[in-house]
Amino acid sequence: MTLFDSAAFEGHEGVHAFFDPASGLKAIVAVHSTARGPAAGGCRMWPYASAEAALEDALRLSRAMSYKNAMADLELGGGKAVIIGDPRTAKTPALFEAFGAAVDSLGGRYWTAEDVGVSPADLAHARNRSTFVAGLDHHPAASGDPSPVTAEGVFRGVRLCVARALGKELSQVTVAIQGVGHVGAYLAEKLHAAGAKLIIADVDAAAVEAVAARTGAQVVPPDAICEAEADVFAPCALGGAISLKTLPRLKAKVIAGGANNQLSGPEAGRALFEAGLLYAPDYVINGGGIINVAGEIRAIARGEAFDPAWVAAKLDRLAMTLEEVLDRSLAERRPTHEIADEMARERLRSH
């Protein structure tokens, strides 16, 4: 893709590239919207094949964060950071300190937190150079890793969708989880505790083995998870899991997971709807993590301690918003992703 020819760039307030030769930092921060408040979204570290691929990911993810924060009723806009590099081999304190300096140079227009490949320990180094860092383990307003809260929101969404689409409880269904990293692993444990049967896959063999040992899940190869005999397919890895190519392979009737940008494009969402599958829009169902981060940002801004009750109330409201999306989809006979997009855009326009 090229920057100004890309439809993904439309609507963004700014895109910032940072290069620090000393530490090796190569990062992009995309700010989609500050209409509701400062842009907020995690930092992803990934060995992108090219700078263009990293840019495309940052643009897609930052717009999704605007929608996610609006649907979670947060006083935050949408932004995202990506660092080009292998998180298994390229992490150093200096790299994340350089990233913190990059974030700080934006003057509070963007707050960062964890995403794929980045941990609270990494961001502690970024915090040395900027106050606009959340999702930490150690400071008065710290909330820690937001993954458990993301998983809780996804768990509630799966339970709601199973009841709506299948008329069943979780103890009566099988869930196929694609990706058992932080969010996927926590989700697996919650579903297991609720009595669901699990089928799991991940490129990380050690992660799969650990989750299977704790939950009794059946393990399948990563390329076989889409066609697993399951009632629910829960994408919890990288984006694009649902496409016109993968859709015919799906056995599940419910698509509900923690990954961002699960649809390869709007045509995939329309095809899901026409096939009679229920899709929980990703940026609605997986909003728990940014709610947790928002609670930390709120506490930092006010000079207060982190308030779990505020987060819990927002999480309850998020479940009600998902239910509203499902109700409107049924009443208007339109795909859930279209309904959610309209609701999010309206919330952005109203500010």
> Is residue 197 annotated as part of the catalytic site, yes or no?
no
Write down the catalytic residue from 80, 91, 253, 314: 80
Of the candidates 76, 112, 62, 74, the residue with the CA atom closest to the CA atom of residue 315: 74
Angle CA 152–156–158, to nearest 5: 115
Of the candidates 223, 221, 224, 277, the residue with the CA atom closest to the CA atom of residue 247: 277
d(CA 69, CA 336): 17
CB 240 within 8 A of CB 213: no
d(CA 103, CA 116): 18
Secondary element (H or E) of residue 309: helix 308-332
d(CA 326, CA 339): 9
328 alpha-carbon distance from chain centroid? 23
CB 86 within 8 A of CB 24: no
Angle CA 104–109–113, to nearest 5: 65
CB 121 within 8 A of CB 90: no
First to last CA, the chain: 31
Q: What are 202's strand-pairing partners?
A: none
Secondary element (H or E) of residue 272: helix 266-274
Which structure tokens are listed for 45?
């570290």
Instruction: Tell the burial category of 146 from Cβ atoms under 10 Å away from its Cβ (0-12, 13-18, 19+).
Output: buried
Q: Give me the sheet containing 14-20, strands edge to edge.
A: 14-20, 25-33, 77-84, 39-46, 110-114
Q: 122: how many CB neighbours lie within 10 A of its CB?
A: 22
Residue positions annotated with a catalytic role: 80
